[in-house]
Structure 1
Amino acid sequence: MAARAGVSKSAVSRVLSGTGRFSDETRERVERAAAELGYVANAMARGLVSGRTHTIGMLVRDASSMVYTALHAVMERRASELGYRVVTTTGVGRVQDEKSALAALVSMRVDGLVVCSGLMPAAEIAEFAPRIATVVAGRPELHPALSSVYCDETHGGATIADAVVAAGHRTAVVLTVPVGDALTQHARTRAMVERLREHGVRAVDLDASFVRPVSDLAADVQDAVRESGATAVMCPTDRLMLELCDALSRRGIRVPEDLSVTGFDGVFPLANDWIGFTTLEQPIERIGREAIDLVVGRIDDPSRPVEHRSLRGTVIPGRTLRAVS
């Protein structure tokens, strides 16, 4: 390639690695020669020499989740801005599988790891931290070996509960998620229940385990509303809110005329004004960008102190929460 470009081998090396000094003319000649020869840079081979591959491994629990999809997109953009590529793997709902996926990413010689999963226990993730820069994104995580950035789930759950109380509701059903299903959804739904009760509002705690079909959940919601006189239902996610509203409609229950419903996450398109969900919007853009900044910071300086960044979401008013007298 050096001969084709008419420059030295060291100049080719500097241009391809993006290090050292070279002129625009040299860069253009090398890039033109690379294109003519069909050259594709081998990041893995360069990593063996430089000690870095400029790649970040990312574990995303559920690729079908709009929250994880949005978070992944933000992190890819930020990584690109900082000169890194992202290699992504997804979980399949079991802790051991997620741990194996992280091990596979490490074997690819990625420079850092970002874990976006509410399932994998902190102790399992922390096993990787001594060997590689590791950050947890999107869930409250205070492990002393793991930097993290996340939405304050307790504040979010309490804030959306405040909106329900402010609308005049005195009894509400809360679809609570077990901690074994999702750490984030468990924290936010428990906060909803606790804040409602702090206000003197009756909170009917209804199990919303992931294994339960929405049709069964809708039937239980209908029964709980009939027995308790509840005028609102609080959901752990916008996705479940959409599915529940659809199931309730098939049972002849109108939202919000017969029953108010709230969600949580606030990710487009479910946060679109045309749909009109009343929900808690997570600061996804900030979570994603700051997670990448944290992991790159630890790649650059392994002695950098662990940081835990808690970011607050905001309520998006919508048509699904009706005021009652």
Structure 2
Amino acid sequence: MGRSRPPTMQDVARAAGVSRSTVSRVFQNGGEKVSPDAQIRIHEAARAMGYVHNLVASGLAARSNRQLGLLIRDATNPAYGHLHAEMHRAVLAAERTLVSVTAHRHDYGGTEIEGLHRLMGLRVAGVFVGTGVTAAEDLAETVTGIPMMIVGRPNSHPRIESVSYDEKAHGRDMAEQIAAAGHRRVVVLEAPVLYSRVFDLRMRSLVDRCTELGVSAVPVDLLPVEQGVGRALDVAREERAGCIVCPVDYVALELLRAAAQRGLRVPEDVSTVGFDGLGDGLDLIGLATMQLPVRQVVRDAVVRMEELLEGADLPVRHSLHTGTFLPGRSLGPPPAGHNC
């Protein structure tokens, strides 16, 4: 028999085997003084029954139809910082307000789901998800009843809209730039898909295109980053590979630091490239990178969200925008004796 009323906090408490006050501490005080095991049981019970905690008074909730939510990854990463700023600007231009929740960059999905629950508790009209970690299947189970859109990450889930960067194209384009510079052997820094689905997609696309172009790619574990860049430099020397491919610019900067500490010149001794192209001063450093089309993606996303909020029965759409390669002195020809 179907439920005749929305689930309550007491229902969640009963299903999780805890008190109502414990459930309240989880949803209102961030789980203070609640064991991790109890928090997991509470969140699982809430998700199973479709419970969404209302964090605001009914008067504010009635006005929240002008509010949109944004779940964003750690804004210290320039890609997410730019996305955050552009989203605020575009939503304001649409005469709406944006409520954002930030997840830590080293979290693997737990706080992202909690952040979505917080946004839904604020009764936002729609949600943008700007993160490269939580799987689309988990997002689809978490957000129901309001429009949700993945922004900045390629997605093919049949129930979730997305406006994203074309990371497959970015990986292919970078491989072509590396081959055009004369490289036939490269080192590729790779991370688990759980760490970043975007990194994984970029690198797989790049390696596939390298293979087509006759460029051999030697994989090296990225994590932890400080050790990964050192391993990459060691392998590049051992394999006589003239270029190290980094999945993101902040890793390329760590590699430049590690190379300088070893007395290696870039690109005379080894070349390197990155992805994102959004950090201040990259032009002064001369890093060759692929710049993300953040503004275009955000504008498209906000326009599409307005269409979805109008209530039209629209088919799910997945849009992709391709960025631009920014040449830099960090990508040069292979050193003499390499590619042999």
TM-score interval for Structure 1 and Structure 2 normalised by the shorter chain: 0.7 to 0.9
- Taking structure 2 as the reference length, the TM-score comes to 0.78
Q: Does 1:242 align with 2:256?
A: no
Query: Runs of 5+ in structure 1 lacking a partner?
Result: 1-41
Are 1:112 and 1:296, in contact at CA under 8 Å, matched by a contact in 2? no
- Taking structure 1 as the reference length, the TM-score comes to 0.81
Q: Does 1:200 align with 2:214?
A: yes
| Pick aligned residue for 1:292 from 302, 315, 319 | 302
Please report how far the alpha carbon of residue 43 of structure 1 lies from its aligned counterpart in structure 2 after TM superposition. Answer: 10
Task: Name the structure 2 match of 1:282.
Answer: 292
Task: Name the structure 1 match of 2:235.
Answer: 224
Q: Does 1:312 align with 2:322?
A: yes
Please report how far the alpha carbon of residue 94 of structure 1 lies from its aligned counterpart in structure 2 after TM superposition. Answer: 3.4
Are 1:270 and 1:277, in contact at CA under 8 Å, matched by a contact in 2? no
Please report how far the alpha carbon of residue 200 of structure 1 lies from its aligned counterpart in structure 2 after TM superposition. Answer: 1.1
Are 1:137 and 1:148, in contact at CA under 8 Å, matched by a contact in 2? yes
Cα distance in 2 between the residues matched to 1:323 and 1:44: 64
Cα distance in 1 between the residues matched to 2:77 and 2:184: 32
Please report how far the alpha carbon of residue 303 of structure 1 lies from its aligned counterpart in structure 2 after TM superposition. Answer: 2.2
Please report how far the alpha carbon of residue 314 of structure 1 lies from its aligned counterpart in structure 2 after TM superposition. Answer: 1.8
Cα distance in 2 between the residues matched to 1:137 and 1:317: 26
Please report how far the alpha carbon of residue 81 of structure 1 lies from its aligned counterpart in structure 2 after TM superposition. Answer: 0.5
Task: Name the structure 2 match of 1:162.
Answer: 176
Please report how far the alpha carbon of residue 219 of structure 1 lies from its aligned counterpart in structure 2 after TM superposition. Answer: 2.4
Q: Does 1:63 align with 2:71?
A: no
Task: Name the structure 2 match of 1:143.
Answer: 157
Task: Name the structure 2 match of 1:10.
Answer: none
Q: 1:293 to 1:44 in 2, by over 3 A?
A: farther
Q: Residue 264 of structure 1 aligns to which amino acid in structure 2?
A: F
Task: Name the structure 2 match of 1:322.
Answer: 332
Tell me which structure has the larger Cα radius of gyration: 1
- Pairwise CA RMSD: 1.8
Cα distance in 1 between the residues matched to 2:279 and 2:130: 19
Cα distance in 1 between the residues matched to 2:279 and 2:66: 30
Task: Name the structure 2 match of 1:97.
Answer: 111
Cα distance in 1 between the residues matched to 2:57 and 2:79: 30
1:161-200 alignment to 2 at 5 Å?
Answer: 161-200=175-214
Aligned residue for 1:127, secondary structure, equals helix
Aligned residue for 1:274, secondary structure, equals helix
Q: Residue 301 of structure 1 aligns to which amino acid in structure 2?
A: G
Please report how far the alpha carbon of residue 96 of structure 1 lies from its aligned counterpart in structure 2 after TM superposition. Answer: 2.5
Cα distance in 2 between the residues matched to 1:43 and 1:111: 16
Report how many aligned residue pairs link the two structures: 278
- The sequence identity of aligned pairs, in percent, is 35
Cα distance in 2 between the residues matched to 1:278 and 1:43: 50
Cα distance in 1 between the residues matched to 2:81 and 2:254: 19
Q: 1:223 to 1:268 in 2, by over 3 A?
A: closer
Cα distance in 2 between the residues matched to 1:131 and 1:137: 19
Are 2:229 and 2:254, in contact at CA under 8 Å, matched by a contact in 1? no
Q: Residue 269 of structure 1 aligns to which amino acid in structure 2?
A: D
Task: Name the structure 2 match of 1:262.
Answer: 273
Task: Name the structure 2 match of 1:37.
Answer: none
